[in-house]
Structure 1
Amino acid sequence: MASARPLAWGRLRGVSAILWSAVVSLAAWLWLLLAQGMFWRTDVRLPPREEPEVWPPVCVVVPARDEAAVLPESLPSLLAQDYPGRAEVFLVDDGSTDGTGELARELARRHGGLPLTVGSPGEPPAGWTGKLWAVRHGIGLARARDPEYLLLTDADIAHAPDSLRRLVAAARGGGFDVVSQMARLRVESLWERLVVPAFVYFFAQLYPFRWIGRKGARTAAAAGGCVLLRAEAAERARIPDSIRQAVIDDVALARAVKRSGGRIWLGLADAVDSVRPYPRLGDLWRMVSRSAYAQLRHSPLLLLGTVVGLLLVYLVPPAAVVAGLAAGSAPAAAVGGAAWLVMAGTYVPMLRYYRQPLWLAPLLPFTAALYLLMTVDSAVQHHRGRGAAWKGRTYSRPESVADEA
């Protein structure tokens, strides 16, 4: 009897720990649901605006490094913009080895449309990331045309024919210095279905779109695939020089513009799509891990907090259900199930936006576990001196977004 009492007491303590962990997780999810800017909603889209009587001149800047595989799908969509004002495209060939620059010229000859200029800045000097060095060169070429707006867009982004005019109308009508759309990423393979919608969901959780466009709000973010930037605001915020080391350059740009007094807007895109495939888990792993630790300011304490937070918020609910059922604790299983239900429910709108089956919603804890491992791997690679590696370049110790902002 005496030996049975410690066993029973130990089991009771274990069930109690599971129950209280589930209670904390449920409380966290209720707070996220009600107090985190309704991050889970997907109806923040480019607002319809009255078109201006006189359309301002726009220059499109496209940094491109080894993009021959995706350029035939993306570049013709830019050249085919039906923008009523003066517009032209500047593609900056950032040291490509696959003929990106010549392919761009051939596509322009074949498709016509907006004028295209192909430039090359050479290798970036110390203290610059390759993309931002290319953007700097493109903006320098564009300034000779005296544009009112710059559209910074990636080489893997395809735009609907009216994309540019809608962006300009929204910026003019709303008085925004930055109007950015998060392109709809490709979702075809199994791993893309599991990882990609969650990537946008986690981003919106960190940077609720409704807060970004609100006057006086501190939250600032943009999506680098599609950023319409007022040229005057770029000069005022010293873009891109002031963020030249930022690996997460889109968020750094938005913070620099907001810090200099500008207004920004970010939402989900209806007709701006990424054509870059990420068919294998390794492709997605590299995409996330190259910048995850930079997002945490390269801080071991923030990394520890992130790991604990992901475990508590995303992994405790299903663990509580399983452990509660195994231990015969209905309260632990019920509370864990409630937290899991809220989690899955907040994920449903993003799955609908990506036109994915809703049975993926309960699998969000599995995807969160993958992101946890990717984040830890990002920190490991950083401390091994490999830093953020992308397309043959490695930035051993890039500045974090927070440091740039």
Structure 2
Amino acid sequence: MTGPVVAVLVLLAGLAALTGHTLVNATRWLRRPAERPAVVDEPVAVLLPLRDEAARVTPCLRALLAQRGVPGLRIMVLDDGSTDGTAEVVRAVVDDDRRRHAGGHPVVGADRRVTVLTGVAPPPGWLGKPHACHQLAQRADPAATALVFVDADVVLAPDAVAAAVAELRAARVTLLSPYPRILVATVGDRLVQPLLQWLWLTFLPLRAMERSARPSLAAAGGQFLVVDRAGYTAAGGHAAVRDRVLEDIELARAVKRAGGRIALADGSRLADCRMYDTWPQLRDGYTKSLWASFGHPGAAAAVLTLFGLLYVAPPLLVAAALVAGAPTVAALAAAGYLLGVAGRVVSARATGGRWWPDALAHPVSVVVLGWLTVRSYHLRKRRRLSWRGRPVG
């Protein structure tokens, strides 16, 4: 065999191993909460931090008010310095819900299910999201034994909280992250958003993550996060991750350091999430945090180089080999490209995502991810990273 053939065969073997790992994770180790859970008889606090979410909080809050199977459910909403009337929208939704439950008659007294708080500005050393979550956890019903953190861009199914808490207890973990189904609409969405689930299904050994005490083996999504309150407190809560951009992953690591266990679950039947409405929002949302995902720039360079070799090089090799009259190399490179696409298909189908024809553009998705990562490090170096009007990084 010639050198190019051997090189492509090595590439093919690596891709086959990774795609096989994706398949095993998706079909054997990814937890799936019950669609029809039993009634949860423990007190549960749902915590919703909001900052300038007037345009999209309504469906989120209505879904929370429609939760069933958790008689001891209490909802706490924190307005974190919004300037767009978020608090007024929240109160209007709550008042409308109270009137509907009262048959249209005036209701006297507060709705015990919902508490609306006004947040205070984060003190030095705190980022906004961890501080908002910290305030909510501190003010949550003292009787609540489970805390459920939800973001405003998430819309829960009626049994979502019951199913998530039941899975938390069944898995005997301290923290459970049921990843929502990510809704995509624009070309940017379809290129970038599916990489969230693809990355951890492809590169993270899920069962080893659950069993291992190593904090480095951790993943979580802050859009929908369920924690045992005692374990959350033992880990230091959000105070332990006060200055972390990726507070969700860092909270999972803090739980592990405190002796707790974590788990991921497919939450696509429990929750929908439309993270960003426009390309600038998506671009800036990823830019603010990708540097924290990779850590040292050298690590980012190594990982992106590997991604390029595995997922971008194969289709380029097909074209080059055909021009050079090397059909064997072209065929092997085409197989490599299809293996990369197959991994995207597996991850999308396992998590309720769109796979056709989007998976065919997987090499382009990887290139865009690389560009966003370079942009993240560049803007951080210039101290120009911000989110929702606050500096980060």
CA distance in 2, matches of 1:357, 1:174: 29
**Deviation sequence 1:86-135 (CA, Å, 0-9, x none):** 12111111110011112111111111377211112211111111011001
Look up the equivalent residue of 1:390 and give its one-letter code: W
Tell me whether 1:274 sits opposite 2:273 in the alignment. yes
Look up the equivalent residue of 1:348 and give its one-letter code: V
CA distance in 1, matches of 2:120, 2:72: 28
Q: 1:49 to 1:171 in 2, by over 3 A?
A: farther
Q: Which moved more, 1:149-158 or 1:352-361?
A: 352-361
Look up the equivalent residue of 1:234 and give its one-letter code: Y
Deviation at 1:19, TM superposition (A): 4.5
Deviation at 1:165, TM superposition (A): 1.1
1:301 is aligned to 298
2:346 is aligned to 349
**Deviation sequence 1:380-401 (CA, Å, 0-9, x none):** 01111123x2111112x3xxxx
Q: 1:242 to 1:200 in 2, by over 3 A?
A: same
Pick from 322, 325, 328 the counterpart of residue 328 of structure 1: 325
CA distance in 2, matches of 1:339, 1:96: 48
Pick from 47, 70, 73 the counterpart of residue 84 of structure 1: 70
Deviation at 1:75, TM superposition (A): 0.6
SS at match of 1:223: coil
1:376 is aligned to 374
1:230 is aligned to 228
1:7 is aligned to none
1:29 is aligned to 15
Larger Rg belongs to: 1
Answer yes or no: is the 8 Å Cα contact 1:182–1:223 preserved in 2: yes
Look up the equivalent residue of 1:278 and give its one-letter code: D
The within-5 A match list for 1:14-93 is 16=3, 19=5, 21-35=7-21, 38-39=24-25, 44-48=30-34, 55-93=41-79
SS at match of 1:38: helix
CA distance in 2, matches of 1:173, 1:238: 24
Q: With the length of structure 1 as denominator, give the TM-score of the two structures.
A: 0.86
Q: 1:77 to 1:47 in 2, by over 3 A?
A: closer
Unaligned runs of 5+ in 2: 102-111
CA distance in 1, matches of 2:166, 2:21: 31
2:105 is aligned to none
The within-5 A match list for 1:233-272 is 233-269=231-267, 270-272=269-271
Tell me whether 1:136 sits opposite 2:134 in the alignment. yes
1:192 is aligned to 189
Look up the equivalent residue of 2:227 and give its one-letter code: L
Deviation at 1:245, TM superposition (A): 1.0
The within-5 A match list for 1:83-232 is 83-112=69-98, 115-142=113-140, 144-214=141-211, 219-232=217-230
Q: Which moved more, 1:98-107 or 1:271-280?
A: 271-280
Answer yes or no: is the 8 Å Cα contact 1:187–1:354 preserved in 2: no
CA distance in 1, matches of 2:38, 2:26: 33
Deviation at 1:225, TM superposition (A): 0.9
Look up the equivalent residue of 1:356 and give its one-letter code: R
Q: 1:296 to 1:394 in 2, by over 3 A?
A: same
Answer yes or no: is the 8 Å Cα contact 2:198–2:348 preserved in 1: no
Answer yes or no: is the 8 Å Cα contact 2:58–2:93 preserved in 1: yes
CA distance in 2, matches of 1:75, 1:368: 35
Q: Which moved more, 1:24-33 or 1:117-126?
A: 24-33
CA distance in 1, matches of 2:348, 2:171: 29
Answer yes or no: is the 8 Å Cα contact 1:83–1:162 preserved in 2: yes
Answer yes or no: is the 8 Å Cα contact 2:23–2:343 preserved in 1: no
Deviation at 1:160, TM superposition (A): 0.9
Answer yes or no: is the 8 Å Cα contact 2:19–2:202 preserved in 1: no
**Deviation sequence 1:190-231 (CA, Å, 0-9, x none):** 332222223321243343444433465762211111111111
CA distance in 2, matches of 1:195, 1:50: 32
Deviation at 1:366, TM superposition (A): 0.8
Unaligned runs of 5+ in 1: 1-14, 398-405
Q: 1:321 to 1:49 in 2, by over 3 A?
A: closer
What is the number of equivalent residue pairs in this alignment?
377
Look up the equivalent residue of 1:164 and give its one-letter code: V
Q: 1:344 to 1:366 in 2, by over 3 A?
A: same
Q: 1:324 to 1:29 in 2, by over 3 A?
A: same
1:363 is aligned to 361
Deviation at 1:314, TM superposition (A): 1.3
SS at match of 2:336: helix
Aligned residues: percent identity? 29
SS at match of 2:245: coil
SS at match of 1:66: coil
Look up the equivalent residue of 1:239 and give its one-letter code: G
SS at match of 1:151: strand
